A = this chain, B = another copy of it.
Amino acid sequence: MSVRVRLTEAPFDPWAEVAEAERARGAARAAHGAAAVFVGAMRDRNEGVAVESMFLEHYPGMTEREMARAAEAALVRWGAAEAVVVHRVGEVRPGEALVLVAVWSGHRAQAFEACREIMEAVKHRVPLWKRERRADGERWVERNTPGRMDPAGA
């Protein structure tokens, strides 16, 4: 089991990060054939209002620790092999990547579930707070978007 977490103040390319992790895995690629990846980028609107930029505050030390703990717990619960979690902090502009969660596993169900579980922990347990700069002023984001939803027409 392997977990790698990272915070970055600089913009990062999530797909290059995954490709690099994939290369580093080497022979494990043929053992753990399933990869589930989530990337969240900053949107240019929230609740219908244009957002110009965002500041992501964190709790140095605790933020990394909670990220690593969430990833380890998810790998153990779902029997998955490897996770990479990267989160942006500081000033972010619309379109830039905020978060990357990548999980490798022997089977797709494990990879999907572990990836999703880590994302929910990032939204609800990892100490990170968003302050938006919008056309109508600055404000702290106080509510999370839902992690589950019903299909259209349900």
- Interface of A toward B, CB cutoff 8 Å: 13, 15-16, 18-19, 22, 27, 29-45, 76-79, 94-95, 98, 106-113, 115-116, 119, 145-149, 151-153
Give 15 A-B contacts (CB < 8 Å), ordered by A residue.
Answer: A13-B19, A15-B19, A29-B95, A30-B44, A31-B43, A33-B40, A33-B43, A35-B38, A36-B38, A43-B106, A77-B153, A107-B146, A108-B119, A108-B145, A109-B148
Q: Which residues of B contact A112 (CB under 8 A)?
A: 38, 112, 115-116, 119
Q: Which residues of B contact A151 (CB under 8 A)?
A: 77-78, 113
Among B16, B22, B34, B43, which residue has its beta carbon within 8 angstroms of that of A40?
A: B34
Alpha-carbon distance A19/B29, docked complex (angstroms): 20
The residue in chain B whose Cβ has the minimal distance to the Cβ of A111 is: B38
A67 to chain B, nearest CB (A): 17
Among B30, B44, B107, B152, which residue has its beta carbon within 8 angstroms of that of A149?
A: B107
Knowing A78-B152, A79-B152, the reply to whether A146 touches B109 (Cβ < 8 A) is: yes
Q: Which residues of B contact A38 (CB under 8 A)?
A: 34-37, 108, 111-112
